[in-house]
Structure 1
Amino acid sequence: MLQLMQQYIPGFTGKPVSYRNYHAYQTTERLYVIIPARTDQDSYYELAAITVYMQEAGFPRLAQPMLTTEGQILTVYENTAYLVVEMPPPYSRSLDAHGAELAAFHQLGAGCPFAPDTLSSYGKWSDLWTVRLSQAERLYSNIYQKRPLVHEERVFLDTFHYVIGRTELAIQYLNETSNEFRFTDYDQPTTVFTKYQSELADTYVLPHSIIYDHPARDLAEYMRTAFCAEEEMETGEFLQSYMQQRPLSVFGMRVLYARLIMPLHLFDQIEKGLTGKAYETLIMQQSKYEQRLAGLFDHMQVDTRTLEIPMLENYL
C-alpha cells in the first residue's frame, strides 16, 4: 500500500493505521484513507468536484479525494482500483441535532453549481428497482430448478413472492407519485448517500458513498435502519429536527414512503448471498418493519387524510 501512496505523494512515508476498517496512513499532519473503488473514474471525478464545492461552501468535515501525480483519481494496486482521500484538519465545532445536520448537508448540496451526471440517481428509482427485481427473479428461477435445496434456498423460494409483491407495490406507488403536483424547491436533487447510516453523526465524513438524488433518500434509509432494528429507535426527534430546517412537501413525503415500501434491505441481502440466517432473520422481522412503517406519518406529525396522501392499505 505504501507504493500506492507514493503515486499520489512522491517519496511518501507514513505510519500504516486502520480507519473504519480501511487501510490508512498517518503522518504528523494528515491522515490518508485508502478505499476500494465501487464505480468508474468519471463518477469519482464528479465526486471530487462536489467535495471541493461542499468544503468551500461551509462543510469542512468532508474528506477530499486525491489525484495521482499523473492526474488520475483511481489507482490500481494488486488488481484492485482504489480511491485515496485526504482527511480534513481537526474540527472542533460541536454538532447540531442529527436531523438538523442532515438538513444543512442537503441544503449545501442543493446549491451545487453543476448537476452531476454519472453520480445521479434522481428520477431513476423505478428503473433501478425493476432491474434489481429482474436479477432476483433470475436467481429464483435458477434455485427453483435446483435439487437438492439447502434450508436457506427453501426459505427464499417460499418468501420471494412476498418480495415481488412489495416491490411491485413500491414501483406502482412511486410511478403514481410522479403525478403529484405539491412539490417545492426542497425536492430538487442534492448530495445524499447511497445508503445513509448516520454518517453525519461522525466527526468526519468519507465521501466515497456520496451521490446525487432526492433528499428523501437519506431519510428513508435512516428510517429503514430504525424499522429493521430489534429495539425501536427514537426517530420522531430526528424527523422533526430535519423538517424544521427543510420541510418535506407532499411529493417528498410520498417519495419517502415509496422508498420504504420497497424492501431494499431484502434485496441487499439476496445480492450478498443466501448462506447463513441473515435473509431469514430479515424476513421474520418484516411484520415488525411494516408495523413501524404504518406509523411513519405519526412520527412526522402528518395528517395523511387532510393532505390526501395515499396509504399502503389502499393498494392491498
Structure 2
Amino acid sequence: MIEEIIYKNYGIHVEKEESLGQFPSFRSENVLYSIIPLEKLEQEELVERQKMSEHLSQQGDRYVSSFVMANHQSYISEADGHMFLLLANNVLAEGRDLRLGRKLALFHARARSITYPIKKCSRLGNWKILWEQRIDQLEKMWKDKLHAHPNNQFEKLFVETFPYYMALGENAIQYLADTEIDDNPSAMDAGTICYDRFANDTWSGKYCIKNPFDWIFDNGSRDISEWIRQHYFKNQQTYQPGLQQFLHDYQSVQPLTSFSSRLLYARLIFPIHYFETIEGYYSNPAEARSLQLEDEITVYTEKSVYYEEFLRSFYDMAGIPVKQMNIPLLSWL
C-alpha cells in the first residue's frame, strides 16, 4: 500500500528496502529514501528541521538528508490515515572514519552559522532544568522502592546506589550553574546542530546518513561529552589515546573555549549513563532486557571509583589549560 502511495505522490518506485537507523527506508535507483511518520510532530518543528537540513546542504555537507516535495506541492503525504514525509540521500558509502573529531567539528562549524531561529528543537540553556526534573523523578521512584522494599537484585542495587548518583547529579547542576554565572560564552559557544547521544556509530554503517529527525539544537560540547562517555565505558582500560586523539582532531578545527570546556565537564559529571539504565529498566521490564540492564548497573556501580578517577584527571588528560582559562575543579574529587 505505501509503495503505491509513494509512486502516486512522488513518482518514485520502491525498489529495495534498506535498514537505515530508526526509520523505514528504501532504495530507488541511486537514492536512499527514509519514511518519516509525523503523528507527534508540530508544524513549527518540521519547519525547523527543514531549515537545518537546507542550511547544512548549502554549506556543502553531502550526507545530509533533503526533504522530498510531493506532486501535490507539499512535503507531507498520507497513507492509511497516517501522515508521513520522505527524506532523500544520494548513495554515498562512508568508510571507517579515523578522524571523527575533525568531522564533528566541521559539522558543528557549518551548523553554527544558521540564521533561522531554532526553538522547538533547541535544548540550549535548558540542561539545568532538565537535569533537575530527571533527578526529581528518579528520587520519587527511589523513595517508592525504598518503602516497598526491593524484590530483585536490580532494585536492590538501585536503592543502595541512587543517593550517590543523585549527589553526583547535583554536583553537575551546581558546576553548570556556576559556569553560567561566572563565564561568558563567546561566538564560538553559540548553538549548533547536535545529536541526543553522539557516538562512534552515529555516522557509520553501510551508508552515512545525517537525518534531520535525529537532531537537536544545543551547545557543541554535548556531542563531544557524549562521545567521550561512550568511548570511556567501551574502553575503560585503554580509553586515553582515543580520547586524546578525538579532542585533538576536534580542536584542530575549533579550539574549545573555557565556557564549552566547563559545559563538557558538567555533562560528564552528570551520570546520564546510570540514570538512563534506571529509566530503561522501569520503562521496559521485559526479562531479557532487565538482565542486560542489571549487568549494566552492576558495572557502573562497582567501578564508580574508576569513573571518579577519570573525572579527576580529565582536564589534564584532555590538555585543557585550567589555570590559564580559570576553570574550577571539583574539590571533593
After TM superposition, the structure 1 = structure 2 runs for residues 1-316 of structure 1, keeping only pairs within 5 Å, are 1-2=2-3, 5=6, 9=10, 12-20=13-21, 22-34=23-35, 40-41=41-42, 42-66=44-68, 69=72, 71=74, 73=76, 84-90=86-92, 97-147=99-149, 149-198=151-200, 199-200=202-203, 203-231=208-236, 232-233=238-239, 234-273=242-281, 275-276=290-291, 277=294, 278-312=296-330, 314-315=331-332
Per-residue deviation at 1:144? 2.4
Per-residue deviation at 1:204? 3.1
SS in structure 2 opposite 1:87?
strand
SS in structure 1 opposite 2:252?
helix
SS in structure 1 opposite 2:148?
coil
CA distance in 1, matches of 2:300, 2:36: 29
Q: Percent identity?
A: 23
Is the Cα contact below 8 Å between 1:8 and 1:67 reproduced in 2? Answer: no
* Deviations 1:265-312 (CA, angstroms, capped at 9, x unpaired): 112222211522233333233322222222221232123234331112
TM-score by length of structure 1 reads 0.87
Structure 1 pair 250–138 and aligned structure 2 pair: CA distance change class (3 A): same
TM-score by length of structure 2 reads 0.83
Structure 1 pair 11–176 and aligned structure 2 pair: CA distance change class (3 A): closer
CA distance in 2, matches of 1:307, 1:112: 28
Tell me the amino acid that sits aligned with residue 178 of structure 2.
Answer: E
**How many residues are matched?**
314
Q: Which has the higher helix share?
A: 2
Structure 1 pair 299–207 and aligned structure 2 pair: CA distance change class (3 A): farther
Per-residue deviation at 1:45? 2.7
Give RMSD over aligned pairs.
2.9
Is the Cα contact below 8 Å between 1:64 and 1:88 reproduced in 2? Answer: no
Structure 1: runs of 5+ lacking an equivalent = none
SS in structure 2 opposite 1:174?
helix
CA distance in 2, matches of 1:96, 1:220: 18
Structure 1 pair 180–244 and aligned structure 2 pair: CA distance change class (3 A): farther
Is the Cα contact below 8 Å between 1:217 and 1:259 reproduced in 2? Answer: yes
* Deviations 1:219-265 (CA, angstroms, capped at 9, x unpaired): 11011112222443311011011112111111111111101100111
CA distance in 1, matches of 2:301, 2:8: 46
